Amino acid sequence: MNSSEAFDFQIERVIDIIVKSGAEVVGLQFPEGFKRRSPGISTQIEEATGVSTIISGNPCFGACDIDAALVDSVDILFHFGHAELDDTKLSEKVYFIEARSDVDVTSVAKKALQSLRGQVIGLITTVQHVHKLDDVRDILEQNGKTCVIGEGDSKIAYPGQVLGCNFSAARVEGIEKCDEYLYIGSGDFHPLGVTLATKKRVVIADPLMNEVREPDQTLIMRQRS
């Protein structure tokens, strides 16, 4: 992964799959948080392989949110930003690229301790940081907190993972008894969803910005108005 790039879009793997498949028209689908990166990724792929790419313009909030119409229009489709699930593999034409981040979470996890009010903390994140939850748990527990990481339903690939359309990892037995949640990631979308689903306080620890804050509740009110 390029040191200047926060997420690994596995471009070399994508190129290798395209070359081996002999595809000529390739679909690209991104969740909302990655859409601004799509033109650059499309250009990289086209220049390296000579294929034509089509970027999905449809909203995308989870691995179950595959652009089925685009799948029918291309030779293969790469779905970025979500983990593959057994029941979301529409066909052998769809490849999931998780786009994980290797950004260090140590600093922001320590900073979050100052904002956490409760004793029992539910840890949640997206697939980009799910491999870092154990590191966060170690830091919090070394400082006297009790951490819980929930196993979601069949639509969730990893413990502690939340999707824009699925917050079951924050609602399963055990974690629902936590005092509050610590979300590792960027943006307000997922934390606000957890707030609505659980009626509990969520603290955001953003490792990319190295900042700790609460989600903007006015976004919910503006959406409802």
- Give pTM, 2 decimals: 0.88
Q: How far is CA 46 from CA 3, 8, 49, in A?
A: 23, 18, 5
The CATH number assigned to the domain with range 11-97 reads: 3.40.50.11840
Q: How far is CA 121 from CA 8, 117, 193, 201, in A?
A: 28, 9, 17, 10
Burial class (CB in 10 A: 0-12, 13-18, 19+), 66: buried
Which pLDDT score is estimated for 177? 85
Please choose, from the candidates 170, 101, 158, 106, the residue with its C-alpha nearest in 3D space to the C-alpha of residue 137.
Answer: 106
Domain(s) labelled CATH 3.40.50.11850 in the chain stretch across: 106-224
Query: What share of the chain has pLDDT > 70, as a percent?
Result: 92
Q: How confident is the model at residue 223 (pLDDT cuts 50, 70, 90)?
A: low
Right CATH for 106-224 from 3.90.930.12, 3.40.50.720, 3.40.50.11850, 1.20.1560.10? 3.40.50.11850
Q: 63-98: per-residue pLDDT in tens?
A: 888 999 999 999 999 999 999 876 655 568 999 999
Which pLDDT score is estimated for 220? 61
